Amino acid sequence: MFYFADLSILALGILFSQACASWFAYGSYDRPAHHLLGSVSIFVVIYCLVVGLPYALLCRAYKRALPSFTDAADEVSLTGINAPGRQWIPLAVAGFALLILAVIVVLALRPRVP
């Protein structure tokens, strides 16, 4: 429920802010494309006003309701920290990082053809 509220606040807020910003920009400027910084700043101000307050209130309500999502009777005790099936994860992450680094080095050092 909170994730749907989060998504709806952000999505509807960006649509409403874009519509209002377009309306204000076309009313304020002759050619809004020539005043891109002004148009973007109008959008950011409206977005912060329209989305900021509901989003802050939703985050506060979510933090207050978070402890009620679980019950102490539902907890599961774990026998060990090191699970044997997860030992390959750090190796896979390190290998993937080395692969990305190798691709970057190859692309950076390859000869440039004019």
CA-to-CA distance for 15 and 13, rounded, in angstroms? 5
Give the domain ranges of the chain: 1-66
Q: Which residues contact 6 (CB under 8 A, 6 or more apart)?
A: 55, 58
The pLDDT score that the predictor gives to residue 16 is: 92
- Per-residue pLDDT band for 78 (boundaries 50, 70, 90) equals low
pTM for the structure as a whole = 0.53
pLDDT 10s digits, 40-61: 888 899 999 999 888 899 889 8
Least confident of 44-53, 75-84, 88-97, 102-111: 75-84
The average pLDDT across 17-46 equals: 84
CA-to-CA distance for 45 and 43, rounded, in angstroms? 6
The pLDDT score that the predictor gives to residue 114 is: 61
